[in-house]
A and B are shown apart, each in its own frame.
Chain A
């Protein structure tokens, strides 16, 4: 069995990775979020945020209360696109762009 300690269950980020990136100088939650995806999984950081902030706090000696806990963007749980879209017809495998480069560049 391996020795991984998970900080984030959703995105499978380990304590070792978080510590390594903090050592590299990424000492805000938002930076780590972009680099490691902590807080970007379906639970939106409910499990990992505090552990990551604690690690940042330990490394930078800044109390958690003074750290930025990162941005909380809606939605806070995965939503079906079909629920939000303007029409609720059967989704087509289209992106809004056509495959024709002529019309696409406009």
Chain B
């Protein structure tokens, strides 16, 4: 019941089934997937019982960081089942407390291999967007590089991002995260073939010994790596923050990233009814992805008075009938061992509970209340650290080349401060470049040029209105004060203050008027005119770069809201398919009925003639209609469907849902 067989965007590689044994019971799942996933797919969420209170435990982070997924595997206790692949004949047992070794210890120790001693010019720890780009930059400059990564697949969190990225088209905007991961890997592969890059996956960096300049890693629980690098780029990413509330350790309370891993990497759903805690970008994106995967999101609760993520992400889930409850928090998760529901309540500005408690039935609670940078290696390396709330916690101080106070260590990506993948990739570039220069691999002039170019792009991406916290945080994270390279806006740009509806992702009426095309032209224009509901200054340009007629004007600043020359718009709908926020619509008012051209990324896949329920910005059904045209302009699984609706609903309907029965 938890297995996703059909998905609007993803296909899951399920090659070969293996039989494994769970407490002696034979079960089947696909080779190479983690044990914890194989168990979930078989409906088993309880992995262990705790040592003190004997409480059932499931996994929480799913990326090898939280250690909540320990089980006894082939006689060995404390195996992290979220990053250990299932194999034919594997014996998996529920672990009680610290677990026990099996009687047959020789069997347990048999797989141990001799430690591997390695030297390398550049060591990159963590193969996410920052780490992969750091590798590429260092390799392109001629360095020899070693990459260690904890997961089974390279790409970090990119491998679970089904949405298209924001940012500049130069830096992958409009491309889905999963595709970016593939592109980066493709670019790395010639370097692997040539031997210039060595990759160790499923390998955790566990210790750094400063005096010996030794980084100790462990691969797949069977081999030690002793690496002596000349330079180290640490891009270890982050982990979901754990949140204190009653029942926060119940089985079914997951970090949002864990839910993404489960459903988007392996095609297994954590549950059917999900309560999302947190309306930052992760909470909003994962909610949308849960809908794509076939789950119901019963609500998103957010402590703050407005969504913290991009407004367009909020609008996307609101119009699919997901309520976003601002100034609300989860008070208690209820269930006997596994989640059955949750009590939520409103809070006032001081954080005190007010009003009635509300019960929400759900089988999964997904925590998206922020991330904490994974910084242990920096502490071990005696780097100067600083606590910056806006960046997610303690982070290493760095200079403009992202070098820390320990001259051997550089930092890039979320571990330098929680942002997003587009900025992480540029940070990786900067760190890789600086390392190459340090090793004498690049001449001063090209180094300068490239460094300035990367900083220019990074500065642009950080000029949006939701990035004001990041900017405030970054001011504390550098050794130097803002220099010629790091730029901040002359006057700080804060998120626009609007009414409460707007803050939760619904366009207010005054703004509806602003985004409506001029009626005299609109009525005459066959094919329709574009309506862009993108009221927030965020770094994004695919609507412009994909517009073939120049109707969507070039951006002076990539964070500007789109401007339209309606006389040039032909209503082609290419922007509808390209917009990462699904905020572009084309509406043809030239006929008797309005024809609405909408983006569509859900199941069931749309076909001409399908009956649809037409939903407004709140997700309420306001009409029924039939699809008259289905296009897939970019061949990337974002469909553009044409739906006729009464003209008076043209500025109300913003989503369509295919109805297959009844």
- A residues whose Cβ falls under 8 Å from a Cβ of B: 1, 3-7, 9-12, 15, 41-44, 46-48, 50-51, 63-65, 67, 69, 72, 74-80, 82-84, 88, 90-91
Contacts and interface: CB of A to CB of B under 8 A. Distances in A.
A43 B246 contact: no
- The listed residue with most A CB atoms (<10 A of its CB), out of B50, B67, B332, is B67
Contact of B242 (A47, A75, A76, A79): A47
Contact of A9 (B66, B224, B245): B66
B67 A50 contact: no
A67 B389 CA distance: 13
B76 to A, nearest CB: 8
B355 to A, nearest CB: 21
Contacts of A91: 105, 109
Given A10-B67, A65-B386, A69-B385, 11 more contacts: A6-B248, A6-B249, A9-B249, A41-B67, A46-B66, A67-B387, A77-B218, A79-B206, A79-B218, A80-B221, A83-B218
Nearest to B114: A88
A66 to B, nearest CB: 8
A9 B48 CA distance: 12
B218 A5 contact: no
A11 B109 CA distance: 27
A12 B376 contact: no
Interface in B104-118: 105-106, 108-109, 112, 114-115
B394 A69 contact: yes
Interface in B245-292: 245-249
Interface residues of B, number: 61
A101 to B, nearest CB: 28
A46 B65 contact: yes
B241 interface: yes
B109 A51 contact: no
Nearest to B385: A69
A44 B216 CA distance: 16
B393 interface: yes
The 9 nearest A-B residue pairs measured at CB: A74-B207, A42-B67, A72-B379, A75-B206, A65-B387, A47-B242, A12-B52, A76-B376, A43-B67
Contacts of B222: 83
Nearest to A89: B109
- The listed residue with most B CB atoms (<10 A of its CB), out of A15, A43, A46, A82, is A46
A15 B80 CA distance: 26
B244 A43 contact: no
A6 B218 CA distance: 30
B106 A48 contact: no
B70 interface: yes
Interface string B492-526: 00000000000000000000000000000000000
Contact of B374 (A12, A46, A74, A78): A46
Nearest to B150: A77
Contacts of B335: 1
Contacts of A63: 387
B55 interface: yes
Contacts of B247: 1
Contacts of B216: 74-75
Nearest to A43: B67
Nearest to B205: A76
B200 interface: no
B91 interface: no
- The listed residue with most B CB atoms (<10 A of its CB), out of A4, A6, A10, is A6
B15 interface: no
Contacts of B376: 44, 72, 76
Given A9-B249, A12-B52, A74-B208, A90 B105 contact: yes
Contact of A50 (B53, B55, B218, B393): B393
B224 A83 contact: yes
Contacts of B76: 80
Contacts of A88: 109, 112, 114
- The listed residue with most A CB atoms (<10 A of its CB), out of B244, B247, B380, is B244
Contacts of B114: 88
A102 to B, nearest CB: 30
Nearest to A57: B387
A14 B297 CA distance: 29
B84 to A, nearest CB: 13
A94 B81 CA distance: 30
A82 to B, nearest CB: 5
B159 interface: no
A80 B206 CA distance: 12
Given A5-B246, A12-B52, A76 B207 contact: yes
Interface string B54-83: 010100100011111010000010101000
A88 to B, nearest CB: 5
A19 B241 CA distance: 19
B552 interface: no
A9 B60 contact: yes
A50 B388 CA distance: 12
B207 A7 contact: no
B66 A47 contact: yes
Contact of B204 (A4, A11, A69, A77): A77
A3 B396 CA distance: 37
Contacts of A11: 52
Contacts of B50: 12
Contacts of B221: 80
- The listed residue with most A CB atoms (<10 A of its CB), out of B66, B332, B377, is B66
B73 to A, nearest CB: 12
A75 B207 contact: yes
Contacts of A80: 76, 112, 221
A59 to B, nearest CB: 15
B372 interface: yes
B117 to A, nearest CB: 14
Nearest to A37: B52
Contacts of A7: 242, 244
A18 to B, nearest CB: 9
